[in-house]
Amino acid sequence: MDVFIYFIIFVAAVALVENIGFGRGGSEDDIGYARRHAKLVASIVIGALLFWYQGANILFLTLGIIIFDSVARFYTKGEGVLYAIAAELYVFSSLYYASPYLIAQAALLGFVASMRFGKPYRVETGSEGEKEREVNRDIIQIIAGILVIFVIYYMQQANSYIDIIGFMVAGYVILGYVSRGYGRLSAGLKKLERDYAKFGEGAMWLGMGTLFAIAFLHNLMYIIAVMFAIYISDSLATIVGIKAGGRTLTYNRKKRLSGLLAYFIPLAVVMFYIVGAIGIIAAFIAAMIESIDTGMDDNITVSIFLTLMLILI
Is the same domain home to 106 and 231? no
If asked whether residues 209 and 275 sit together in one domain, one would say: yes
Q: Are residues 218 and 171 in the same domain?
A: yes
Q: Are residue 109 and residue 129 in the same domain, yes or no?
A: no
Return the number of other C-beta atoms located less than 10 Å from residue 192's C-beta.
16
> Across residues 216-234, what is the average pLDDT?
91
Domain membership of residue 67 as a residue range: 1-114
Are residues 95 and 29 part of one domain? yes
Average pLDDT over residues 4-32: 57
Which residue among 65, 87, 114 closes a domain?
114
Q: Name the band, by pLDDT with cuts 50, 70 and 90, for residue 50.
A: very high
| Claim to verify: residue 102 and residue 140 sit in the same structural domain | no
Q: What is the pTM of this model?
A: 0.80
Q: Are residues 160 and 101 in the same domain?
A: no
Residues 65 and 172 in one domain: no
pLDDT score for 214: 87
pLDDT for res 289: 92
Q: Which residues contact 228 (CB under 8 A, 6 or more apart)?
A: 145, 149, 266, 267, 270
Where is mean pLDDT largest: 24-33, 57-66, 163-172, 246-255? 57-66
How many structural domains are present in the chain?
Answer: 2
Paired residues of 249 in beta bridges: 252
Query: What are the tens digits of pLDDT across the range 73-98?
Result: 776 565 566 777 778 778 877 667 77
User: Radius of gyration of the chain from Cα atoms?
Assistant: 19
Instruction: Inform me whether the pLDDT recorded for 8 exceeds 60.
Output: yes
Extended strands (E) in 29-151: none
Query: Do both 50 and 144 map to the same domain?
Result: no
Please name the amino acid found at residue 189.
L
pLDDT band at residue 67 under the 50/70/90 scheme = confident
Whether residue 254 is found in the same domain as residue 185: yes
pLDDT at 313 over 50: yes
Residue that terminates a domain, selected from 96, 114, 132: 114
Residue from 299, 61, 89, 62 nearest 173 by CA? 89
Residue 28: the pLDDT is 47
CA distance 226 to 270: 10
Do residues 227 and 106 share a domain? Answer: no
Q: Which of 95, 114, 133 is the last residue of a domain?
A: 114
pLDDT at 251 over 60: yes
Distance CA 102, CA 214 (A): 9
One domain, residues 33 and 125: no
- The pLDDT score that the predictor gives to residue 185 is 47
pLDDT given for residue 279 in this prediction: 95
* Predicted pLDDT at 66: 87
